[in-house]
């Protein structure tokens, strides 16, 4: 697994398009939000900015990288060759998505740390960490499922758009309008409860028990995504 991850990490740094998607776009967007944090804080809250930062990295960096990587490795038959080795299927998938996951975690921690220094620290760091971990798990699961529908790395530019734009839109909707209206719908949509959890963790003022309940919808999406991935994922090129 580690040898697969090491090889994949090397490929990431050799691929310019992946580097742009994984590093440049998320960092540029996050830098804009942090630079304009006073304006966005008046529009919503500091917790909203933290939520957008998290989903920008998870959607444009982690999720798209997972889909593109798996589609590329399937197309060049690398997945098929790996499966003929002694490595288990789970080890192969973990090895391939681990570099993108580590990069995303480092980015989120670094950017939120800078944001905390610039705008003020979060009220509950542990709760924020839980929100980040569950969101990453959800986006990896959705990435595996989407990879099953993606024929090639070029096709990934299209297949990733609904989820990428969708979670950003939901995060903005929840962050700006709150959950006072259409509460259940907002929390059940992918990214809705995670955004609210990040806002609670950063802004404070919400009982811990109420916030922990928000983990349930995101974890449910993890189960749904993994279930879809088990049905849709293919090890050989789609015809």
User: Chain-wide mean pLDDT for the chain?
Assistant: 86
- DSSP for 80-91 reads HHHHTSS--HHH
The mean pLDDT value for 182-189 works out to 92
At 199, which helix (H) or strand (E)? helix 192-203
The mean pLDDT value for 195-214 works out to 90
Indicate the pTM of the whole model. 0.91
Buried b (16+ CB within 10 A) or exposed e, 22-45: bbebbbebbeebbeebeebeeebb
Q: What does each C-alpha distance from 73 to 44, 68, 133, 149, 195 come to in angstroms?
A: 41, 9, 26, 14, 32
Who wins on pLDDT, 38 or 117? 117
The mean pLDDT value for 220-227 works out to 92
Domain definitions of the chain by residue range: 2-232
- pLDDT score for 185: 93
């Amino acid at each position: 697994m580690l040898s697969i991850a090491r090889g994949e990490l090397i490929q990431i740094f050799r691929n310019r398009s992946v580097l742009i998607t994984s590093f440049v776009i998320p960092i540029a967007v996050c830098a804009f939000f942090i630079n304009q944090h006073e304006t966005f804080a008046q529009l919503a809250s500091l917790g909203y900015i933290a939520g957008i930062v998290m989903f920008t990295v998870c959607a444009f960096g982690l999720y798209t990288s997972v889909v593109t990587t798996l589609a590329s490795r399937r197309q060049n038959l690398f997945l098929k060759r790996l499966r003929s080795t002694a490595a288990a299927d789970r080890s192969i998938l973990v090895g391939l998505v681990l570099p993108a996951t580590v990069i995303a975690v480092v980015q989120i921690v670094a950017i939120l740390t800078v944001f905390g220094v610039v705008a003020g620290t979060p009220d509950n760091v542990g709760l924020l960490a839980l929100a980040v971990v569950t969101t990453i798990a959800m986006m990896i699961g959705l990435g595996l499922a989407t990879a099953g529908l993606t024929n090639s790395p070029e096709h990934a530019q299209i297949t990733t758009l609904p989820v990428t734009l969708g979670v950003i839109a939901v995060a903005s909707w929840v962050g700006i309008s709150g959950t006072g209206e259409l509460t259940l719908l907002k929390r059940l949509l992918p990214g809705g409860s995670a955004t609210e959890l990040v806002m609670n963790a950063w802004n404070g003022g919400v009982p811990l028990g109420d916030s922990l309940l928000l983990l349930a919808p995101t974890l449910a999406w993890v189960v749904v995504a993994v279930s879809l991935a088990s049905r849709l994922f293919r090890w050989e090129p789609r015809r």
